[in-house]
Amino acid sequence: MKYKLPVGVSDFRKIATGNYVFTDKTLLIKEVMDDGADIILITRPRRFGKTLNLSMLYYFLDHSQPKDEDLFENLNIWRDKAFCEEYQNKYPVIFISFKDVKSHTYDEAYADIIELIRRLYEEHRYLADRGVLSDNELTIFNTLLGRQADISDIKSSLRQLCLYIQRYCGKNPIILIDEYDTPIQEGYLEDYYNEITELMRGILGQALKDNSYLTKAVVTGITRISQESLFSGLNNIEVYSLLREDYGQYFGFTEEEVLKLLEETKEAVSLDA
């Protein structure tokens, strides 16, 4: 059998259902849900599997996933039947990635972020059709869909979406934020650091600080931006950098995993994605 190397593939479903070489990191899900912190920030270098792991969390936790497709059967997490019964596909999940916000100017970055928010609200357009929103909320919802919202509504967009989803589902959502620091790194390189940091502080701060409509948030990035400049006032945040052992086995590969992959695949590997 020819195996494919998942070069550039970060969608867990595609890897789980395709004939890809795969290292089982699913016990990360249990560690995340057992973690006492409301907000988990994990920083790792590029190509350490951050996006793939958030994708895995999304497919496991999100309640809208197909019930007849079990991507996790026979994986490590599947052995914990009680955990799967309690958590699998039991939560509304908000998943947003800032990894492609790599703009030369603040105006371009702002437009890219507005588009990310628009897509997120488009994904949850059903909220506008179910009598969940007040007239004023519906107006703001539609301005976000139409990319016409002002900056204050952009900053509060994730927090408000949590409220709307909780109101509709009766359950607080989980937020997954991928590469939160990419816009800020680009702002530093392109000389609009202060403006983009202020925008991201507004979006992340309002979504994560004292949000009574949030179950848990998992945030990934390459660097830890100063808590004073971006995460000021967040009380229950735990930061797991490369210098901490926590979650270490779930990002990148251990020596044992590399040797096992080489032994299992040997020459039965294709570079075709």
Instruction: Express each pLDDT in 91-139 by its tens digit.
Output: 999 999 999 999 999 999 999 999 999 999 999 999 998 889 999 999 9
Q: Are residues 89 and 16 in the same domain?
A: no
CA nearest to 160, candidates 227, 89, 217, 94: 94
Question: In sequence order, what are the beta bridge partners of 175?
Answer: 94, 217
Distance of CA 233 to the CA centre of its chain: 21
Do 250 and 23 meet the contact criterion of CB atoms below 8 Å apart? no
CA nearest to 227, candidates 258, 181, 267, 196: 181
Amino acid at 67: K
The parent domain of residue 180 ranges over: 26-249
pLDDT at residue number 267? 58
Q: Are residues 125 and 258 in the same domain?
A: no
Look at the pTM and tell me if it is higher than 0.75.
Answer: yes
Q: Are residues 194 and 123 in the same domain?
A: yes
CA separation (Å) from 258 to 4, 186, 225, 250, 254? 16, 33, 31, 13, 6
Tokens of 129: 């059709």
Give the rounded percent of residues in the chain with a pLDDT score beyond 90: 69
Q: Residue length, the chain?
A: 273
CATH assignment at residue 215 = 3.40.50
More confident residue, 13 or 18: 13
Q: Are residues 74 and 183 in the same domain?
A: yes
Domain count, the chain: 2
Q: Is 63 left (phi over 0), alpha (psi -120 to 50) or beta?
A: alpha
Q: What is the pLDDT of residues 135-172, one digit of tens each?
A: 999 999 999 999 999 999 999 999 999 999 999 999 99
Backbone angles phi, psi at 102, to 5 degrees: -125, 80
Q: Are residues 82 and 168 in the same domain?
A: yes
CA–CA dist 176, 98 (Å, integer): 11
Q: Are residues 56 and 161 in the same domain?
A: yes
Q: Are residues 5 and 67 in the same domain?
A: no
Q: Are residues 198 and 65 in the same domain?
A: yes
CA–CA dist 265, 273 (Å, integer): 16
DSSP 3-state helix, strand, coil percentages of the chain (rounded to 5)? 50, 10, 40
